[in-house]
Chains A and B, each alone.
Chain A
Amino acid sequence: MINTALNISSGPHVRDRWSTKFIMGCVLLALLPATVVGVAVYGTHALLIVLLSVGTAVLSEFLFNLLVHKDPKGCLDGSAALTGLLLALSMSPSTPLYAPVLGSLFAIVVVKGCFGGLGKNFLNPALAARCFLLISFTNSMTTFKVDAVSTATPVAELLAGRAVNITSMFMGTSNAVIGSSILALLAGGLILWALDIIHGEICFSVLGAFTLFVGLFGGQGFDPAFLAANICGGGIVMGAFFMATDYVTSPVSRKGQLLYGIVIGVLAGLFRVYGSSADSVSYSILIGNLLTPMIDMYVVPKPFAYSKKELAKQSGAPKKTLKELVPRPVLVIIVITLIAGLALGGAYKMTEETIAIQKEKKAWASYQTVVPEAVEFKQVEAVAEIAGQTYGTSFGRVTINQAVEGLDASGNTVGYAIEVTSAEGYEGNITLSVGISVDGTINSISFTELNETPGKGMFAAEPDFKDQFNGVNATSLKLVKGGSSADNEIDSISGATITSEAVVNAVNAALDFFYNTIKGE
């Protein structure tokens, strides 16, 4: 008699050999070349970062699964290891070792586990963790040390308009993140694409849109060397092939993927060209991740039988109205954006003149503050020649905007007020007026534009710092740390050296102008 203990299930009864583990394994393997190059170039510390990151990711997935009563063996499906590896490869080789541990923990527990684990997270865990670390430990995450000396990454150099070595960027020997070998990343990424594990719709549209944007708006046109340097730096290749293509956080349909890739590419280009951070790629992919559910909601591919071509073939198909073609929420968002944009623009136009008058008033008020004896001010004519230009060579990017002579009631000169702007503040421009008496003694300084970091640079406006300038008679001031010992020494604000330096440079420029131009006349 034939065995009757038969398995019963609904068809199909066969399965492809591809499994979650297989796919994750393929991606891990594809990242292996980049990892090997990274470790070979940056040494044991880089290896430790990789091991700690991957190890923590797998372990925290194991523990989290235990905690939420899931199968703890799920941590071995490769996805946690992949998250850990991607995080490690996107880190500086000199990152302190607590960063990969904390980052992986954050990625697995907060970004992935808390939202339901594999397949349920709405942000790429590795990227979210990277940004978490960037915000929490800005210094150690953005410091790239070669032989214990901090240096700028190629992208930072590029942004500053300096020349970079494209070959070393391509090979991965430049001073960047662990996984920065473009050659190794491309090799792995293209193999994944050929195996149809990652979708070309995403990786190539990211790269294409980014290149096009940088070419159009980067200011150097489609100069091959400039474009190559932009593509080889800043993680756009790793982002395009390994981060943006993450299945879970990218759209389902090929059309949606194309849209998603273009959005990421354009954003990355926008941040690269106009932004201040070198981390343009991470943020643009995260924004792309956030848009994914909306793209999936509206860009649902039609079955073949309902495509426009087929419907045309089968007569009597109802015509689509505009309302059906463009989903209502999209229309609403467009209208709101338009109204808000017009309102903002209109308000700016209307208040432009008032703002200018107010600015002028503020400036004159500050002259009064720094030269209190004066009842009337008269422009020093020589200032017209230098307005709008960088003043001198030793003060950084400083411009002298205005210089006025203060007169008392009987017409005698009682002092000068000089308005200086330094563009080298931590958060942008710092503008201040320096009051100088006829003998060259500084009366006081007064800020008209100061937008520095609260709790740090903003202390510049506090008497503790500002009043150090009062009554000083010197041709040039010096910035020192930890207490001034001489009259011409200004004690820096602790934790805000850049701000302090900008202020001292601005005052020095004013002094220089006073001694060489006003006095020298």
Chain B
Amino acid sequence: MRVTFRGGVHPKGFKELSRRVPLQKFDAKGEFAIPISQGIGKPAKPVVSKGDSVLVGQIIAEADGFVSSNVASSCSGTVKAIEKRRTISGLSAECVVIENDGLYTPVDGMGKKNNLEELSNADIIEKVKYAGIIGLGGAGFPTYLKLSPKNPEAIKYIIANGAECEPYITCNDQLMQSESDGILEGMEIILRLFPNAEGVVAIEDNKPEAIESMKKALEKRPSKAKISVLPMKTKYPQGGERSLIAAIAEVNYPITKLPADVGCIVQNVGTIYAIWRAVEYNEPLFRHVLTVTGDAVKNPGNFIVPDGVLVSELVEACGGIKEGVTLRKALAGGPMMGFAMTSLDVPVVKTTNAVTLLAEDEVEKAEKQLTNCLHCGRCTTVCPQGLVPQLMADAVHVGDLERYEYKLYGLECISCGSCTYVCPAKRPLTQIFKQTKAEIMAAKRAKAGAK
């Protein structure tokens, strides 16, 4: 077990902006627009129609197929419409629009404590599936699938990902401080499914309070022999699934394999907390933690936010944009892996862990400094997968996708952005790879479809 992976970068953290602001429950006043597709996989099928009244925690769209997740209502009120709305990605998608009655009446059975002893492993997975839990780290993969590997006995490590390596974001830091017990109970539930596994709570060492709080809570739990809290080196992308496995299990695996194939399951601490709420209190995933931060916002903070709230409403709750500051860039997520929003009038989804509002766009400045590649090799040094970004970009430039894919293993790229971050020539390497990977995958799908 090591405390870090090979490669990586040290972007400025900016965590001071919000790291000491405790989590605050955010109750929205206005209407909710809940997208029926929030993670990876097929969009869910709406099971309510216009005019229906809904309650908090009521399933409003059901999973459609294997890789798909239930969507629950996050407020009580009346369904106003089911229509296309602009979503956080900038594209239009089907949303269930609910007129919020402001009462937040919970659905029957939610909050009632289950006796965990009586639940079988299948019950646990069923509850996680019903709750519509997806990975809150950003990818949004259905959690019940991650918890159902072919061979549960082969799982050696359950890793609770509290690294939070992305600059600016601090909500998991606060969650680990205020809900240490909930996270550990969630870990215990997961460990029940995997008899040979040990639990590791991985936290970057720039969060001493969270480490302390988790350690303290662990001392009092009966599971302390099976779970450990591991302070990790502060380095981006420490919180990447592969980085954590490379450090903790000391295994680097290719893209053709899943973490479970190398005996690991990585879950974000937020997801683990949601698993606990779902299994013990029958609570579907309709709210999660989120940081509103950046140098453009007046009062940065950490919130427990229901899905479907408009980003603009959240920003208003933080005091809005500072006077005399022009908002240049609004990011869903942090500055490394987050994406730029086209508008703030879009609903928050399960995978939105931060809203970063910036008064200055570094990319604008960088574009002016663009030069040819110097072959300095900084990208190669920092790549957490051991790839050679400069050669990959060359291959794309000359259109040699075969070399990109087979000789340079370009599909192994995890789009972490480290190469773009360090490039002194300011070349948009990660951006090139994101597009190339999408093209190659599309070509593969087209080929498979033709057959």
Contact = CB atoms under 8 A, between A and B. Distances in A.
Interface in B364-402: 364-366, 369, 371-378, 380-381, 385-388, 390-391
Interface in A41-84: 74, 77
Contacts of B428: 10
A255 to B, nearest CB: 11
A301 B388 contact: yes
A252 B377 contact: yes
B373 A119 contact: yes
Contacts of A23: 374, 376, 424
Contacts of B386: 301-305, 307
A247 B377 contact: yes
A14 B391 contact: no
Interface in A362-387: none
B388 A9 contact: no
A253 interface: yes
Nearest to B428: A10
A13 B412 contact: no
A314 B257 contact: yes
A4 B376 contact: no
Contacts of B420: 12, 15
Interface string B63-93: 0000000000000000000000000001000
A314 B258 CA distance: 12
Max count, chain A CB within 10 A of own CB: residue among B9, B328, B412, B420:
B420
Interface string B326-362: 1111110001111111111000000000000010011
Interface stretch (B32-40, B175-183, B193-201, B248-256): B248-256
Interface in A1-53: 2-16, 18-23
Given A22-B424, A310-B251, A6 B372 contact: no
Contacts of B161: none
A306 interface: yes
Contact of B321 (A3, A15, A296): A3
A118 interface: yes
B371 A118 contact: yes
B363 interface: yes
Interface of B is mostly: loop
Nearest to A22: B424
A20 B377 contact: no
Contacts of B391: 252, 296, 300
B366 A300 contact: no
A242 to B, nearest CB: 15
B337 A199 contact: no
Interface residues of A, number: 47
B374 A6 contact: no
A307 to B, nearest CB: 7
B425 A119 contact: yes
A377 to B, nearest CB: 68
A20 B315 CA distance: 37
Interface in A302-358: 302-307, 310, 313-314
Nearest to B416: A12
Nearest to B254: A305
Contacts of B369: 19-21
A116 interface: yes
B140 interface: no
Given A6-B327, A7-B340, A306-B409, A13 B372 contact: no
A418 to B, nearest CB: 62
A303 B385 contact: yes
Interface string A185-199: 000000000001001
A12 B422 contact: no
B396 to A, nearest CB: 15
Contact of A13 (B331, B373, B385, B390): B331
Given A6-B328, A13-B358, A14-B167, A303 B340 contact: no
Interface in B118-140: none
Contacts of A304: 6, 246, 252, 385-386
Contacts of A7: 328-329, 340, 361, 363-364
A330 to B, nearest CB: 16
A21 to B, nearest CB: 7
Contacts of B342: 6, 8
B106 interface: no
Given A6-B343, A10-B431, A253-B380, A300 B388 contact: yes
Interface in B211-263: 246, 251-255, 257, 262
B152 interface: no
A119 B374 CA distance: 5
B390 A11 contact: no
A396 interface: no
A212 interface: no
Contact of B412 (A199, A253, A303): A303
A11 B335 contact: yes
A78 to B, nearest CB: 10
B320 interface: yes
A277 to B, nearest CB: 29
B380 A252 contact: yes
Contacts of B376: 23, 247
A9 B431 CA distance: 9
A102 B262 CA distance: 62
A8 to B, nearest CB: 5
Contacts of A156: none
Nearest to B379: A252
B408 interface: yes
A253 B377 CA distance: 8
A481 interface: no
B253 A314 contact: yes
Contacts of B43: none
Interface in A114-151: 116-120
Interface string A99-120: 0000000000000000011111
A362 B198 CA distance: 90
A13 to B, nearest CB: 4
A248 interface: yes
Nearest to B257: A314
B17 to A, nearest CB: 14
Interface of A: 2-16, 18-23, 74, 77, 116-120, 196, 199, 247-248, 250, 252-253, 296, 300-307, 310, 313-314
Which 3 pairs, one residue from A and one from B, show the smallest C-beta to C-beta distance?
A: A12-B417, A119-B372, A304-B252
17 contacts: A2-B312, A7-B364, A9-B363, A10-B428, A11-B430, A12-B336, A14-B335, A16-B9, A119-B371, A119-B372, A119-B425, A247-B377, A252-B380, A300-B407, A303-B386, A304-B246, A313-B251
Given A7-B340, A11-B338, A11-B417, 18 more contacts: A3-B326, A4-B343, A6-B327, A7-B329, A9-B363, A10-B339, A11-B335, A11-B336, A16-B423, A18-B424, A20-B371, A20-B424, A23-B424, A117-B372, A119-B371, A247-B376, A306-B409, A314-B253
